[in-house]
Structures are given as structure tokens and as C-alpha cells.
Amino acid sequence: MKFVSTRSTIEPKEYTSAEVIKMGLAPDGGLFVPTEIPVLTPEMLDRLAKLPYAERAAEILGMYLTDYTHEELLQAANAAYGAPKFPAETPTPIKKVGDVDLLELWHGPTSAFKDMALQIMPHLLSMALAKTGETRDALILVATSGDTGKAALEGYADVPRVRIQVFYPTDGVSRIQKKQMATQQGANVNVTAIYGNFDDAQNGVKAIFSDPAMAEALDAKGMFLSSANSINWGRLVPQIVYYVSAYCDLKNAGRLADGEAMNVVVPTGNFGNIFACCLAKRMGLPIGKMICASNQNNILTDFINTGVYDKRRTFYQTVSPSMDILISSNLERLLWLLAGPEKCRRYMEELSANGIYTVEPDVLAAVQEEFAAYFCDEAMTAKTVKEYFETYKYLSDTHTAVALAAAKQHFRHIDGKCATLVASTASPYKFSPAVLGALGKEVPEDGFDALRALQKVSSVPAPERLANLETQEDRFTAVVRPDEMKEAVLAFADM
Ligand SMILES: *Cc1c(COP(=O)(O)O)cnc(C)c1O
């Protein structure tokens, strides 16, 4: 299996899977995509259905990551998805709630679905260094507004030949998120708050990546910079696994008949999670429609319904902050698949020059063949959290609620119901104040007070790892100015 950039048009250079995992982004600014989509036959699905999650993962990863051995992938999957990191029974339980099946992807160490990829990706990177003959160690730089930073820290902690430095805006993350990062364990991790907002952190990281003097200084220390963000292929391919696995589980439970397709609803920000679902479908997994659920930042809803991607619009801060995005990077991969590299490149150029592009009618038709899209405003998000709790005693987080609301709109649209899997992306306790507010309760100022209040109201226990945080000692307390970030990275490299 080889990989090419979404933006290379003539005789694209081909890369191996280990190279793309190490590099993250293609040199021309495009994203890596596989040159062919492997096929999941019904026989293979039957065989996978009999295996535990980690073995399913090793099989599916092996279809794309062909320069890793099955033993290596199985070892990585067992390390990533075993107990105590995930529940011993299964890392991805499915709960039937009302008319839908909720695929809970947040039982990992940081209580958000990003663990599904970030628990295994560090192992893949560590092995990629050996496979590509890289003699230097990787230094991962992350700017975070909360969820990604903690999930990356937890994934990379104590992974050989890798270090990780996370920057977050000191006043731009919740109390619980800050505590999650400040208490992180591991000999190879560093966490630094910065004075400023998320953009300052992000710009600081970008400046470090594009500074040749930094590359040179780190090279002299035997290190190179790498990233952990969601456009890395190494984050995407582990996300295919849980869709295949969920299908197997539903089939095993007798909830899907032979050959019966399921619709899948995904709360979407960067289009990574739903694109992984799209790959699973193209591999042959029986999936009907993929339903793209957005919050008030409904740029993808507009795009899928009209073919116009227009980011010249108001940015809203919502109660589902991990979906507050106006540039959904992974959409580029879908455009490459549907429209080919020339058009894909042109759309991306138009987006960066004018903030808008429009796809041709045939491309739009191809998008709509596979996807439907709905959005949910703040009031509807809160109403959905409340409704699911009152009707089914199911406590949903605010991101998942956006997807539940989209499922409902789709049922109304198709005038009926069909097997529907909804991706549940975070524990409600990760967003305790918003969930408590949605239930119509008074919201205490402190995040941990809100967590306790939510426990009391709902009688649903909070994940221990969140509840126990409050009493843990902070390990990282440094706060620096954005112009001091380079020094912080160099000092960490010397440690
Ligand atoms: C990151 C995130 C999303 C969005 O996922 P994408 O892959 O960016 O579309 C949704 N919900 C939660 C809780 C997240 O952390």
C-alpha cells in the first residue's frame, strides 16, 4: 500500500505507511491518502466478528499499514486498547437508547474519543522511526484548546524515542482540562501554559515548525519536530476500526440482519471521524447514509446541502467546543476521492485565497449520494441533552447531543427509522457545566463542583480519572509569553 498527497497532480510521489506516519503532512501542504482502498469481504467481516477489539484493530490497520507486521500491529493494539486504559470487556460499548445505537468512544484515559487514535498512534510512530532508518528522536509539538492536548499527552507519555511538548492558553481551557494537563505523568512530557488565547498558542507552534534555525538546533540535539494533529494518517486509520467493530457487535447481537446496512451519525468538527467512517464504507462495510452533524458553526451542513464551502462567516463559541471549527481539514481527503487531485487542489487554493469554493454539480451529487447533513443550535443541543435524560435516563455530552438531534432530523426527513449508529464522542462529565446547564440546573462556578452536582442530579458515576483529579498535585505550573515558546522547547529538548 502506497500513499500520495491530495495535491500532487502529475506523477505523484509515493510514500510508505511508516513515512506518512512520521511526516504527518505532505511536503506540498496536502494530506496523505492511500492510492487504493482495500476490500473488506463479507467473509472477512464474519471472521472479524469472532475476534476481540485489539485483534480486529490489528487486522484492519494491517490492510493500510503494510510495512508493519501483524505481530507489531497486534502488540500496539493490545498496548493501546487493553485494561486498565480501557474497560476490559470492550473499549467501545454500544448502548441502545430509543431509536438509535450509541457507540461510546470515550471510555479511554481522557474521556474523549480522541483516545481511540491517540492511544495507538504513538506506538505506530515509534516503530516508524525504526522502519524509516530515522536516527533522531521525535519531538511532538501540540497547541491545544483542551481535549487534544491531554489525549496526546496520555498517548505519548513514556513512549520510547518520542517526547511531547504541549502549549495551552492559560485562561482558554476549563478548570478540569487544565488540571488534566498540569498533573500529567511521564518522563518525556512537558506542559506549558501561555499568556494569550488559543490562536497565540497555535501561531507560536506554527512559527516553531517553520523556523529553520529551530530545526537545526534540534537536529544538533538528535531530534526532529513532528505533530499529532488530526490530519495525520496515523490518527485516521485507527478510527476506521471502531466502525467495523461496531458493525460486528451489532451483527453478533442480532440487531442487524445479513447484509442490512446501518446509517451512521457523526458529530463533526475537522471531518476526521466521519471520513474514517467513509473509508469503512468504501472498504465494503454495509453503511447506508453517513450523517454529518454540526453545531451552530454549520459550514459543513451548508456545504453538503449546497456545494458551496464559505468560511466568510461568524465564528460561534458553543457548548460543544470541540466542533467549533470553520476549516474542516479532512474534507480535503473526501474532495480528492470524489473530484480528483486537480479539482481538489483548486478548491484548496480558492479557499485560502478567497475563503470560498464551489464544487461542480456532479461532485455535489456524489457528496449527497453518501452524506446527509443537519445542524443543531445551542437551544436544541440543550433540549436534546435534557430530553434524552428525562426520557431514557441517558446522560449525553453536548457533542453527542448534536448528533442525536441530527439523527432525529434525518428520521423526520426520510419519514421513518432504520438501524442507526450514533458516534458518542465524549463523557458528559468532560463538559459538566454545560450538561448541568442543559438539564436546567444551577451551574456552580468551579468545574469540580459542577462535576459533583451533575453526579448528584443524574446518579450516573463520573469516570474515576476525572473525579480523582482535583486532589492531585500539579506537576507543570510554568506560564510563558508567546515569544518565549521557542526557548521553552529548546530547554525541554535539553532535559
Ligand atoms: C474532536 C471532537 C469532535 C470532532 O471530531 P472531528 O474528527 O474533528 O470531526 C467531536 N466531539 C468531540 C468530543 C471531540 O473531542
Q: How far is CA 437 from CA 256, 271, 317, 375, 450, in A?
A: 36, 28, 16, 20, 10
User: What pLDDT does residue 481 have?
Assistant: 96
Nearest CA among 368, 382, 453 for reference residue 413: 368
396 CB near ligand 1 (under 6 Å) = no
Model confidence pTM above 0.85:
yes
Round to the nearest angstrom and report the end-to-end CA distance of the chain: 38
Find the range with the poorest average confidence among 157-166, 211-220, 412-421, 455-464. Answer: 412-421
144 CB near ligand 1 (under 6 Å) = no
Residue range 401-414: mean pLDDT, rounded: 95
Q: What does the DSSP assignment read for 301-339? A: HHHHHHSEEE--S-----SSGGG--S--TTHHHHHHHHH
The residue to mutate among 180, 268, 273, having the most atoms of ligand 1 within 8 angstroms of its beta carbon, is: 273
CB 365 within 8 A of CB 306: no
Q: What is the pLDDT of residues 430-465, one digit of tens each?
A: 999 999 999 999 999 999 999 999 999 999 999 999
**Can you read off the three cell numbers belonging to residue 18?**
511508516
User: What pLDDT does residue 171 have?
Assistant: 84
Residues 6+ apart with CB under 8 A from 419: 101, 250, 255, 256, 260, 261, 262, 263
Q: What is the pLDDT of residues 5-32, one digit of tens each?
A: 999 888 889 999 999 999 888 888 889 9
**Can you read off the three cell numbers belonging to residue 437?**
446547564
| Chain centroid, CA 83 distance in Å | 21
Average pLDDT of every residue of the chain: 95
User: What pLDDT does residue 444 have?
Assistant: 96
Residue range 265-293: mean pLDDT, rounded: 97
Whether 229 has a pLDDT exceeding 90, the answer reads no
**Can you read off the three cell numbers belonging to residue 89?**
470487556
Please give the CATH topology (third level) of the domain spanning 94-110+234-464.
Answer: Rossmann fold (3.40.50)
Whether 417 has a pLDDT exceeding 80, the answer reads no
The residue whose CA is least distant from atom 1 of ligand 1 is: 322
Q: What is the pLDDT of residues 149-183, one digit of tens each?
A: 999 999 999 999 999 999 999 988 888 889 999 99
The residue to mutate among 174, 425, 432, having the most atoms of ligand 1 within 8 angstroms of its beta carbon, is: 425
CB 137 within 8 A of CB 161: yes
User: What pLDDT does residue 147 have?
Assistant: 82
Q: What is the pLDDT of residues 43-73, one digit of tens each?
A: 999 999 999 999 999 999 999 999 999 999 9
Per-residue b/e over 468-494, b at no fewer than 16 CB within 10 Å?
ebbeeeeebeeebebebbbebbeebbe
Q: CA triplet 280, 282, 286: central angle to 5 degrees? A: 70
Whether 146 has a pLDDT exceeding 80, the answer reads no
Spatial distance between the Cα atoms of 92 and 100, rounded to a whole number of angstroms: 16
Place 477 in a pLDDT band, splitting at 50, 70 and 90. Answer: very high
Q: What is the pLDDT of residues 282-302, one digit of tens each?
A: 999 999 999 999 999 999 999
Whether 145 has a pLDDT exceeding 90, the answer reads no
Whether 397 has a pLDDT exceeding 80, the answer reads yes
User: What pLDDT does residue 209 have?
Assistant: 86
Question: What is the distance in A from the centroid of ligand 1 to the CA of 116?
Answer: 12
User: What pLDDT does residue 165 have?
Assistant: 97
Strand, coil or helix: what is 66? coil
User: What pLDDT does residue 24 have?
Assistant: 87
267 CB near ligand 1 (under 6 Å) = yes
Q: What does the DSSP assignment read for 346-402? A: HHHHHHHHHSEEE--HHHHHHHHHHEEEEE--HHHHHHHHHHHHHHH-----HHHHH
Place 401 in a pLDDT band, splitting at 50, 70 and 90. Answer: very high
Percent of the chain with pLDDT strictly greater than 70: 100
Place 3 in a pLDDT band, splitting at 50, 70 and 90. Answer: very high
Peptide bond into 84 cis (omega under 30): yes
Spatial distance between the Cα atoms of 202 and 207, rounded to a whole number of angstroms: 9
425 CB near ligand 1 (under 6 Å) = yes
User: What pLDDT does residue 72 have?
Assistant: 98
CB half-sphere exposure, 56, CA atoms < 13 A: 26
